[in-house]
Structure 1
Amino acid sequence: MSLPDTSASGPMPSSTSAPAVAREEGFTDFTDIDGFLRIPRIVSLAAGPEGRIVAAISQADEHGARMVSTLYELDPEGQAPARRLTASEKGESSPRFRADGTLLFTSARPDPESGAEADAPALWCLPERGEARVLAQAAGGLGILQVADDGSVLAATSVLPGQDLAGDAEARTARKDARRTSIWHTGMPIRAWDHEVDDESPRLVLISPDGELTDLAEDAGTLGLRGADADLSADATTIVTTWSERIPGGGTRTSIHRIDAASRERTVLLAGDDQSEYAGPVLSPDASRLAVLRCTPSSPTSTSLSFLEIHDLVTGTGPVTAQLGDLTPGEYLWTRTGELLVAGDLHSSGAILAVDPIDGTARIVAEDGVFSSLAPRPDGSLAVLRSDIATPARPVLLDSRVVSPGTAADGSGSGAEPTGGTAAPPRELPAPGTVTELPGTLERVSTQVGDVEVGGWLCLPRDASAARPVPVMLWIHGGPHGSYNAWSWRWCPWLAVARGYAVLMPDPAMSTGYGHAGLNRGWPRRPDVVYAECEALLDLALERDDLDGTRTALLGASFGGFMANWIAGRTDRFDAIVTHAGLWALPQQHRTTDAAAGKMRVHGHEEDESGPAQWYRDFSPHRAIARVRTPMLVTHGNRDYRVPISEALRLWWDLVSTWDGDPAGMPHRFLQLTSENHWVLTPSNALVWNRAVLAFCDQHVLGAEPIPDVLPWG
């Protein structure tokens, strides 16, 4: 099935598609970047057995040094304001409910009984009435993965090499006292995103209702459970988990293993091979079925494709493949009635589908928004976070008549899909962090490139007009498998709109939400294909008389940064280019990234004249350094291991060393973020980054004063 594109085609209000609700006084001033970065952000939801809804809400601390998460209880009726449940300097996160109504969460705050400071998150429990207490702790910290009906908890932790849970704390103290930081590597991988893949052994532990820990996989080694996705059956008898192993060529392969909780016996349930590996196992409530993503390996001719499969663990028949149409699956879970709810990207927006596990057919539960943190409630309704380009993630409640099968929208219980009426619209629940007014409007735009329709979003200042056309920024998203479909705290177009810019955000080739064909269009990572589609949408937009095509900027991060770097050597149509965490010298990046195995599998070695050599010659941005004429702002985090800082260092050297004018007049700039990773996450650094990006564009697009040699906001 191919689901229809229900995105709006004309001007949209600032609260596009958002459910109506009486809002608290919210944020309005997008010229106040510090205030913007201090807006509370709703991170996750949990639903309790009595219908309670709890949200984890993150907010910058006093100094902007870090984000701190706090738990709030929300009113399911949508009337009362959110009620704060926790408060500590270390923060609380990952709320989950037990069947008896006890709220579980993780925190590194001090234990009030012992008064001891914690080095790692412990598992806490908070009864509906009473004080929170530590339920369980481990020296390697605890992360909640699932909660069973009897209150048992599946959690993730780690131990130092050669240790068990009992001796790990003492070994960590000894290592810390000795300031020992060496890592003994025996294979790949050795890095992941922003941290070293150390010699610790990730483990799964089953925590009994009274807090006793059982190590479920003492033979996991350093790789088996690293980054594992795992689930626990409702009766706490069975665990399913991803399990990784090294393969020749520096790669890894992931299978699905089943662990018996009583015996700790581990068996292979779904074995990965050269054609497929697996991710995201989720058991149905009765443990008779398993939902899992089967992922094909990327190759020079096809990107990695994901298929959501449902395996019958009783009969062994199947699997049934979910018929998701163009939806790119993200999060999924089982309902108590036996359907599989799937949230994902769809047509520069998103949707939730309900999948029949018997035949894989799907029906639409919710659309016109990006949905996450799905939390089913006992009455069949669904609490979720909903976002779009104009709206931060907000908690909403979906009516049970929409979510649950077997009941028509008019309540007749016909057993058919909802066709006999209109279900109640989603109800937004009061919570901190509302944005009540935007500095502009949002429009859905699209154009035809060959036989493909390329869509995206245009954010426009309110005062843009033919009499006062505004400058334009073209943003290219990362991934390349991604989509401009939701609110972003790291790349928020409304900060630029408040500054007077229009922001065009295309979803070109390889974007998510357009089926497998969309993901493969332009593969393997063809910047020429992506730019042709982005430029076509830009040219169409510039036909408007309220946009000024003589004042433009190009911005991108990650793959978008690679695109910005590649475009810089091929056109001078932009007045400024901002590249964040961008790839510059591909022969170098492909060998130093933490994803080296996949990069080399797809693109091969640049010395191979059978094909890869030409790809590197055509598409490695560094080969066109002599043709770069546009002022470039390079920004990069030192702890970025996906696109290592060496890319920025080499780009910066190439820009500086090839500038043949007065060094004092060189237009390029480099903002180095020594404590950041692939993303700029620290609020204080995000403040500097946003101000620097906008000021650089102001200087070269609008003719504003240059940024001083010493940053005034550093």
Structure 2
Amino acid sequence: MPTTPFDSLDDYISIPRVEGLALSPDGARAALTVASLSEDKTSYERALWAVPADGSGTPVRLTRSAKGEGGAAYTSAGDLLFVSARPGAGEDDVPQLWVLPAAGGEARPVTALAGGVSGLVAVAESAPVVVIAAPLMRSAETLEDDTKIRADRKKKKVNAILHEAYPVRHWDHDLGPDETHLLAIDLSDLPAETPGMENAEMPSDGPAPYPGWLPRPVDLTPHPGRSADVDGAALSADGTTLVAAMPTPEGRGSRARLVSIDVATGAHTVLFDEAHVDHAVPAISPDGSMLAHIRMPKADPNGPTDQELWLSGIDGSQPRRVAEGWDRWPGEIAFTVDGTALITATDQDGRAPIFRIPLDGSPVETVVADDNAYTAVALDRTGAGLVALRSSYMAPAHPVRVDFDGAVTEFATPAPVPAVPGTLTEVETVAEDGARVRAWLVLPDGASAEKPAPLLLWIHGGPLGSWNAWSWRWNPLLAAARGYAVLLPDPALSTGYGLDFIARGWNSWGDKPFTDLMSITDAAVARDDIDEQRTAAMGGSFGGYMANWVAGHTDRFKAIVTHASLWAMDQFGPTTDHAEYWQEIFTPESALENSPHRFVQDIVSPMLIIHGDKDYRVPIGEGLRLWAELSAHFMDEDGSMPHKFLYFPDENHWILKPQHAVVWYETVFAFLGEHVLHQMPERPSILG
């Protein structure tokens, strides 16, 4: 039998990964951000590659710095902007903005900010103007002040943060002591060549001056608090107007409002702002006359709310809703070149097609719909279609051109699609309330009635999500290469099936989501190529919550793996990074009723708990309490029990380091091998 990179975990982590896509203004070439395993196999190094955007030619590598590059975007002149911590700008190798000239030559720094650049926010399509996000210290009035404060903290080894607002953490990092600012840069002020040190300004007794040979960033959000942590931003083609979805305090939480910022003066004008409503993901028409955005009323325990598409003048005038009867949640949006429609890719029926939304009230049209998910959609400014990254469970993200007639052309890429084990099919059933529930089923090679495969039920996170796109972290092909079938269901709360399907599980996670999972598992094990006697369940985040709930409500699975999981809702609510959201979508009674910890005494299946200490979305206390309560109920007098706890002191909600991913899968497959396949217990040797 031929081997694939999925047969070996070392081969798997070595597969190059396409992580980003940008299209040049003339539509002739695309820039890809490609991650490759480092020589010592302990990290990923990211480089930029250029490929022809018509599917011809061969990829050409553009960058090679050890620090890597990302966040690429083209300027109006066709130069390539990117963010990198490569040496040559600023201090301490913090990320800065760089530009690679279209005419050739070495990349040159655009910024030298003491705190670095967080990312590119927007690039003007017909003017040399860009907006970046950058952290500045709260009390800094100038860029020089920021440099001095950071130097003082470093010299005195002070890391303390005084919080005066909520929240204090986000996903995997602390908030503060600096604040995100939006800074505008006029690229026409960038010199043709980087001057040598003989021309650089030397520090005086005061704060080190910002390099005079670089364009000085203009602060569009002085003293922003957290208002510059934007939920989308758009820059007019002429670079004069930035529309940003800026959070403003609302009790413990915040709401996003749309703010128009005059780039020349920095003046702010609020366009849309409503209590308990987020206005986000703005897009500006090519001619600068129209603004589109997504309006999202905040949810509460009564049910989910819709995500509405709205259109207005660039000044917010004459707002109206578009695509009102379209029962889908749009993703990122962009105007077509002629300004008559919007383009978006979003979840639908276990896929993520690309849609065209006419602005004249005509029905939403499908541009391309197949068994793939499309992301990073960018319109060709010449009007000749669009480009995107396409993936499925049989192929990782790879760049393609999509014509408006639905024709798809694959690009040449330095990260070709690898050979895969197994096949992909669909399973569906009808739930007890009549709802259709479907799933992807990855079958290993050789699965048959004569040789049925053991089944792994994988439960997605979110909970507002769908199993529809390739994942490097949760990759079912690794299990298929080891002989398992993998069921990837979309139960109640999943996106891509309409608002009513989400509502079925709202404020009652342990009800319809659980019964949907059991129903679709019944449909899968009814197949003659699946072994009903050898099954396990797995999940991370919300999927970990469901794995814990499954563990306390059925004994049908031989083993359960729970990663970064919610265990005790009374504890999770106040300790997660954004407590206000989780405590607002549940009633206190429902949170307790649907808390898995109440059913610990009913757990029969052996459990493998996995948690990272730097996880702020689902804090480590969830894993610790689960482990302690399993120990209290199931530990024998000799200290033994069937459960295990894999702990990562320096990982967060995701396991990101390549060798930690290897340990994760080795431990999971060893645990499943012991309990599902009845193999001898083993421990990965590197764990000691």
Aligned pairs for 1:55-454 within 5 A = 55-111=32-88, 118-142=93-117, 143-148=119-124, 149-163=126-140, 164-209=142-187, 210-211=189-190, 212-248=215-251, 250-274=252-276, 276-313=277-314, 316-323=317-324, 325-338=326-339, 339-359=341-361, 361-368=363-370, 369-379=372-382, 380-399=384-403, 402=404, 423=405, 425-449=407-431, 450-454=433-437
Distance verdict in 2 for CA 1:571–1:115, change over 3 Å: closer
The answer for the alignment partner of 1:703 in structure 2 is 678
Cα pair 1:320 1:358 within 8 Å, conserved = no
Cα distance in 1, alignment partners of residues 664 and 136 from structure 2: 37
Distance verdict in 2 for CA 1:451–1:101, change over 3 Å: same
Post-superposition CA distance 1:2-22 (Å, at most 9, x none):
xxxxxxxxxxxxxxxxxxxxx
Q: 1:509 aligns with which of 478, 482, 492?
A: 492
Distance verdict in 2 for CA 1:122–1:246, change over 3 Å: same
Distance verdict in 2 for CA 1:192–1:465, change over 3 Å: same
Mean Cα displacement is larger for which, 458-467 or 284-293? 284-293
| Per-residue deviation, 1:438 | 1.7
| Per-residue deviation, 1:78 | 2.0
Cα distance in 1, alignment partners of residues 35 and 398 from structure 2: 13
The answer for the alignment partner of 1:555 in structure 2 is 538
| Per-residue deviation, 1:233 | 0.8
Cα pair 1:27 1:39 within 8 Å, conserved = no
Cα pair 2:96 2:110 within 8 Å, conserved = no
Q: 1:585 aligns with which of 543, 568, 571?
A: 568
The answer for the alignment partner of 2:21 in structure 1 is 45
Residue type at the aligned position of 2:254? T
Distance verdict in 2 for CA 1:698–1:371, change over 3 Å: same
Secondary structure (helix, strand or coil) at the match of 1:541 reads helix
Asked if 1:680 is matched to 2:658, the reply is no
Cα pair 1:289 1:310 within 8 Å, conserved = yes
The answer for the alignment partner of 1:5 in structure 2 is none
Residue type at the aligned position of 2:8? D
Cα pair 1:330 1:342 within 8 Å, conserved = yes
Cα distance in 2, alignment partners of residues 623 and 468 from structure 1: 39
| Per-residue deviation, 1:505 | 0.7
Cα distance in 2, alignment partners of residues 597 and 203 from structure 1: 24
Post-superposition CA distance 1:167-216 (Å, at most 9, x none):
21222121112111111111211110001111312110110012423434
Mean Cα displacement is larger for which, 574-583 or 55-64? 55-64
Structure 2: runs of 5 or more not aligned: 191-214
Cα pair 1:96 1:147 within 8 Å, conserved = yes
Cα pair 1:310 1:322 within 8 Å, conserved = no
Cα distance in 1, alignment partners of residues 677 and 521 from structure 2: 19
Secondary structure (helix, strand or coil) at the match of 2:499 reads helix
Mean Cα displacement is larger for which, 546-555 or 237-246? 237-246
| Per-residue deviation, 1:124 | 2.8
Asked if 1:655 is matched to 2:630, the reply is yes
Cα distance in 1, alignment partners of residues 275 and 156 from structure 2: 42
Cα distance in 2, alignment partners of residues 119 and 109 from structure 1: 8
| Per-residue deviation, 1:222 | 2.5
Cα distance in 1, alignment partners of residues 635 and 658 from structure 2: 37
Cα distance in 2, alignment partners of residues 395 and 520 from structure 1: 35
The answer for the alignment partner of 2:202 in structure 1 is none
Residue type at the aligned position of 1:268? V
* Identity across the alignment (%): 37
The answer for the alignment partner of 2:451 in structure 1 is 468
Secondary structure (helix, strand or coil) at the match of 1:676 reads coil
| Per-residue deviation, 1:229 | 2.2
Distance verdict in 2 for CA 1:172–1:360, change over 3 Å: farther
Cα pair 1:323 1:361 within 8 Å, conserved = no
Cα distance in 2, alignment partners of residues 154 and 682 from structure 1: 31
Distance verdict in 2 for CA 1:641–1:239, change over 3 Å: same
Cα pair 2:558 2:676 within 8 Å, conserved = yes
Cα pair 1:165 1:215 within 8 Å, conserved = no
| Per-residue deviation, 1:525 | 4.2
| Per-residue deviation, 1:660 | 4.2
| Per-residue deviation, 1:240 | 0.8
Distance verdict in 2 for CA 1:255–1:116, change over 3 Å: closer
Residue type at the aligned position of 1:310? L
Distance verdict in 2 for CA 1:263–1:501, change over 3 Å: same
Post-superposition CA distance 1:549-581 (Å, at most 9, x none):
111100011111001111111111110000001
Cα pair 1:239 1:259 within 8 Å, conserved = yes
Cα distance in 1, alignment partners of residues 513 and 90 from structure 2: 56
Structure 1: runs of 5 or more not aligned: 1-25, 403-422, 606-611
| Per-residue deviation, 1:618 | 2.7
| Per-residue deviation, 1:335 | 2.5
| Per-residue deviation, 1:352 | 0.8
Cα distance in 1, alignment partners of residues 259 and 381 from structure 2: 30
| Per-residue deviation, 1:370 | 1.0
Secondary structure (helix, strand or coil) at the match of 2:461 reads coil
Cα distance in 2, alignment partners of residues 374 and 301 from structure 1: 34
Q: 2:618 aligns with which of 640, 643, 647?
A: 643
Residue type at the aligned position of 2:138? P
Cα distance in 2, alignment partners of residues 644 and 128 from structure 1: 49
Higher relative contact order (CA 8 A, sep 6+): 1
Residue type at the aligned position of 1:568? A
Cα distance in 1, alignment partners of residues 504 and 292 from structure 2: 28
Cα distance in 1, alignment partners of residues 442 and 464 from structure 2: 22
Post-superposition CA distance 1:656-702 (Å, at most 9, x none):
12224244541111111111111111111111111111111111100
Cα distance in 1, alignment partners of residues 304 and 134 from structure 2: 32
The answer for the alignment partner of 2:552 in structure 1 is 569
Cα pair 1:44 1:56 within 8 Å, conserved = yes
Cα distance in 2, alignment partners of residues 49 and 242 from structure 1: 25
Cα pair 1:103 1:128 within 8 Å, conserved = no
Distance verdict in 2 for CA 1:385–1:294, change over 3 Å: same
Secondary structure (helix, strand or coil) at the match of 1:375 reads strand
The answer for the alignment partner of 1:13 in structure 2 is none
Secondary structure (helix, strand or coil) at the match of 1:128 reads coil
Cα distance in 2, alignment partners of residues 660 and 153 from structure 1: 60
Post-superposition CA distance 1:289-310 (Å, at most 9, x none):
1121111111111124321222
Residue type at the aligned position of 1:316? S
| Per-residue deviation, 1:117 | 5.5
| Per-residue deviation, 1:473 | 0.5
The answer for the alignment partner of 1:477 in structure 2 is 460
Cα distance in 2, alignment partners of residues 305 and 296 from structure 1: 7
Cα distance in 2, alignment partners of residues 518 and 278 from structure 1: 24
Distance verdict in 2 for CA 1:258–1:663, change over 3 Å: farther
Cα pair 2:508 2:594 within 8 Å, conserved = no
Asked if 1:631 is matched to 2:606, the reply is yes
Secondary structure (helix, strand or coil) at the match of 1:95 reads strand
The answer for the alignment partner of 2:204 in structure 1 is none
Secondary structure (helix, strand or coil) at the match of 1:186 reads coil
Distance verdict in 2 for CA 1:629–1:509, change over 3 Å: same
Cα distance in 2, alignment partners of residues 196 and 360 from structure 1: 46
